[in-house]
Structure 1
Amino acid sequence: MGLSGILLALGLLIWLAYRGWSVLLVAPAAAALAAALSGEPPLASWTQPFMAGAARFIAQFFPLFLLGAVFGKLMEASGSALAIARGLTARLGRERAVLSVVLACAVLTYGGVSLFVVAFAVAPVAAALFREADIPRRLIPAAIALGAFTFTMTALPGTPAIQNAIPMPYFGTTPWAAPGVGVLAAAVMLGFGLWWLRRAEAAARRAGEGFGGEGRTGAKADEEELREHATTVDSFDPAELAHGGRAREGDLPPTWLAALPILVVVGVNLAVTALVLPRLDAGWLAEERWGGTTLQAVGGVWAVLIGLIAAILVIALANLRRLPGLRGCLDAGANAAVLPALNTASQVGFGAVVAGLPAFAAVRDGLLELGGGPLVSLAVATNVLAGITGSASGGLTIALEALGGNYAALAAERGIDPALMHRIAAIATGGLDALPHNGAVITLLAITGVTHREGYRHIAMVAIAGPLLSLVVAILAGALLGGF
């Protein structure tokens, strides 16, 4: 009954999350059900392994959620995100409308701006551009998804996305782990996605299909609908976008100034990783009061945090006149971090309970013995769990919480570069996470006013098929060439 109980609990988690139930309630309920059906005490499972797993995740990663959300809110409120989107699309022109939208989203998300902030900023720009180019409105969500949900989130080295940060404590790596493998995978995702969207655009033109109805693209999506589906978001609570105010439409910063904080995030992150951390004597971290850790385990997170702090200072100082109220923006950003962090932590707590059940040993052994070695096993485990939870960060953390020690040991035993394990794990978070019940997918469709029936097929191709193809390429390249 143990394995059946785990599967039943997973099914309950998926179904209720898709129906809009809060993961904060669903995850402990599903964990208690799995424990009870396995003959374990459900209440103790909730208050002990569940809360211990959730607390560890919050302790490790809440600073990233907090600073990332504050930075995203300041980019939105100052008008910087909109200025970058307009600047890029104006330079590339309507004949490259799809590419313009993809690159605008990619620049913003690689610079650390939450995909939800990007979607709200870019959607009206994309609508205007697609209308002018007479490209079907139903392709807007896929163009945004390609730029915001895929290669900048998981593959490109140095990205401050939480999906790139989670593997660092488990493998002792940095945000720049296996840069060659990451760039190769990113090129496959981007190339495949652009090929598909060009193909879809050409097919629409042959059929005489133009932009179509206005829908709700560029307008405010229903707040209650967004609030309902925000229960599964894992980077920014979209309900906070309405708080803190924003710059006046005619007072946007110039494109170069808007892009400066993004350059600061990437540049400072790289400088700290390559120049500062290697010179640091941090033996004192081994003391009990500092958690008995090592610089290798926490240095990667520190590099991203320092980059975000520097960027927040730059954007605040450069846009004091444009920001409607600095304190209100900071408060809204801080509040936007809480729900995603707790959502993901609850999913991690669920994973901690399941990982401790006797029946899970068979699942663990089966995954570890998959043909193809640890890289294939890690990729399958992460992708499947991301698909089940509808969350890239949730699936990755559950996989590493349950099996991270095993994978680290296997990597050492077989001479696999930990940086390669990091990059494969991060890339594997993209793919099945974008199934229809994913909170980001649902929110994106709500923002753009496109239904699942109209737009999801194209989202699936650019955000599932492309990333899965790139994962295969990354594994093959890593197996042949190592973590280059």
Structure 2
Amino acid sequence: MGLAAGLLGILLGLGLLIALAYRGWSVLLLAPVAALIAALLSGEPLLAHWTQTFMGSAATFIGQFFPLFLLGALFGKLMEDSGAVASIADFMTKTLGTKRAILAVVLAGAIVTYGGVSLFVALFVIAPMAGALFRAADIPRRLMAPAIALGTFTFTMMALPGTPAIQNAIPMPFFGTTPFAAPGLGIIASAIMLGFGLWWLARQETLARRGGEGFGADHGVPDAGALTETTLRERASTAREFDPAEIAHGHQSEAHPPIAIAVLPLGLVIIVNLVMSFLVLPRLDFAFLAEPRWGALSLASVSGVWSVAVALAVAIVATVALNWRRLPKLRETMDAGANASVLPIMGVASLVGFGAVVAALPAFALVRDWVLSIGGGPLVSLAVATNILAALTGSASGGLTIALDALGGTYMKLAAEIGMDPALLHRVAVMSAGTLDSLPHSGAVVTLLAVCGATPRQSYRDIVMVAIVGAILALVAVIVLGSLFGSF
């Protein structure tokens, strides 16, 4: 079969994957079926692609990143059940009060997610806080979701140096970078996203007050049990690294820790990550990694993942030690946290397997050539490719891994030819994955709206402004600055 039939197969497979995943079908089933359709129309061997290409790539992804999914979900659940996340939310409420309700919600979300707490854990704790603050301040309920999105979906996931978000970890094995890649550019991007988002939300609040629009009817905040239906769960689990079905499991403490104890584990994540990345691992002898039994690896290909894993492990131990009495059912909490990591990583790994099959087809050369022909240099073409894949899959981590699996080596060669720091590729790739992944079919957006008791008609326009437009402005700034001055 020709390249035209192969390209048609890629488009049909991708269309099937998107359409049925949006309707709640499991990606675990859809991804291999879509991959086999693409292979069939390309005249490629089906079983070989399923067991070797698809499963081989999925297994590689699991082998690289399951420690981070596992530790991240476990840490988030411990922080939730110990009352630490609620303590931080309460502190922000009391400190900033109703006069700065939007800022309080944004900062509460930013603090917990930058410290390593999974997005869905943060949503279920911060949404009630936002509801109470917005009700007291008489701010329209429709602005809850965009305020939470600004604090949890944007700069803490893809720009702040050292963020332990899985999206920030994915480029590290491809580019040999650390979680602190291009820190100066990351800080500038974070300031743009935060500043633009706060400006927009303040503008909307002012317009609402002038129009006499208040909080509106109070329907309460849906509980976790009402938000774990199969359709929502499947879509949410490929969007972020925590299965929302496990929110209702475990045992949440009624007593909250003091704020100092609540934030200490979050600080440990950042500090230990920094120390491991720049002080500990570079000074140790890892020459043995070059041996075949360790995969003939370099330290640069694994050090980033190791740094984040150690940081999360230290934070987990600290959380348990500091909150021992507030975790009376520790085994149930830890079981729920561990279980919460399984469906997300399997879902994303399946997306990665689909991408690997597509990248192995002869017709993919047409797609690769088109991407590389985009004007503006490698940063622009990398941004476009990653944005498209994240948008189509509704998953930042899935879209990012597919893009880097298919094109990461090519971009590293281009960077070496023009003397570009791979850290710049890292930051652009991560930020690109975190822009159009917030389209309406994204599981994270669907879950956020459900948690806030809002409809897309009420809140989605403002989510677009704070989570997509602000992120694109920051991405453009990073590409321009990186092109002019390099990575810093």
Provide TM-score, normalisation by structure 1: 0.98
Letter in 2 for 1:223: T
| Contact 2:236-2:442 within 8 A present in 1 as well | no
Q: Is it true that 1:376 corresponds to 2:380 in the alignment? A: yes
CA-CA distance at 1:139 after TM superposition = 0.9
| Contact 1:142-1:462 within 8 A present in 2 as well | yes
CA-CA distance at 1:219 after TM superposition = 3.5
Alignment of 1:219-258 (within 5 A): 219-220=223-224, 221-224=226-229, 226-248=232-254, 251-258=255-262
Residue by residue over 1:216-256, the C-alpha shift from the partner in whole angstroms, topping out at 9 and shown as x without a partner, is 425443432643533533310010011111101xx100111
The equivalent position to 1:465 in structure 2, one of 469, 478, 481, is 469
Letter in 2 for 1:234: R
Q: Distance in 1 between matches of 2:34 and 2:170?
A: 24
Counterpart residue number, 1:75: 79
Counterpart residue number, 1:46: 50
Unaligned runs of 5+ in 2: none
Q: Distance in 1 between matches of 2:382 and 2:236?
A: 28
Alignment of 1:385-424 (within 5 A): 385-424=389-428
Counterpart residue number, 1:297: 301
Counterpart residue number, 1:348: 352
| Contact 1:17-1:232 within 8 A present in 2 as well | no
Aligned residue pairs: how many? 482
Alignment of 1:128-207 (within 5 A): 128-207=132-211
Alignment of 1:205-220 (within 5 A): 205-217=209-221, 219-220=223-224
Letter in 1 for 2:228: E
CA-CA distance at 1:270 after TM superposition = 0.5
Which segment drifts farther, 22-31 or 394-403?
Answer: 22-31
Counterpart residue number, 1:483: 487
Counterpart residue number, 2:342: 338
The equivalent position to 1:125 in structure 2, one of 118, 129, 132, is 129
Q: Distance in 1 between matches of 2:408 and 2:55?
A: 19
Letter in 1 for 2:174: Y
Counterpart residue number, 2:319: 315
Q: Is it true that 1:364 corresponds to 2:356 in the alignment? A: no
Q: Distance in 2 between matches of 1:24 and 1:257?
A: 39
Q: Distance in 1 between matches of 2:223 and 2:111?
A: 23
The equivalent position to 1:62 in structure 2, one of 66, 70, 74, is 66
Provide TM-score, normalisation by structure 2: 0.97
Counterpart residue number, 1:271: 275
Share of identical aligned residues, percent?
65
Q: Distance in 1 between matches of 2:402 and 2:240?
A: 14
Q: Is it true that 1:328 corresponds to 2:332 in the alignment? A: yes
Alignment of 1:432-443 (within 5 A): 432-443=436-447
Q: Secondary structure of the residue that 1:321 maps to in structure 2?
A: helix
Q: Distance in 2 between matches of 1:265 and 1:328?
A: 23
Which segment drifts farther, 39-48 or 166-175?
Answer: 39-48
Counterpart residue number, 2:20: 16
Residue by residue over 1:121-171, the C-alpha shift from the partner in whole angstroms, topping out at 9 and shown as x without a partner, is 100000000000000111111111110011000001100000100000111
Letter in 2 for 1:284: F
| Contact 1:385-1:396 within 8 A present in 2 as well | yes
Which segment drifts farther, 213-222 or 177-186?
Answer: 213-222
| Contact 1:124-1:219 within 8 A present in 2 as well | no
Q: Is it true that 1:287 corresponds to 2:270 in the alignment? A: no
Residue by residue over 1:320-340, the C-alpha shift from the partner in whole angstroms, topping out at 9 and shown as x without a partner, is 100131111111111000011
Alpha carbon RMSD of aligned pairs, Å? Answer: 1.1
Unaligned runs of 5+ in 1: none
Q: Distance in 1 between matches of 2:213 and 2:222?
A: 21
Residue by residue over 1:42-77, the C-alpha shift from the partner in whole angstroms, topping out at 9 and shown as x without a partner, is 332211211111011001000000000000000000
CA-CA distance at 1:41 after TM superposition = 2.6
Letter in 2 for 1:39: G
| Contact 1:20-1:231 within 8 A present in 2 as well | no
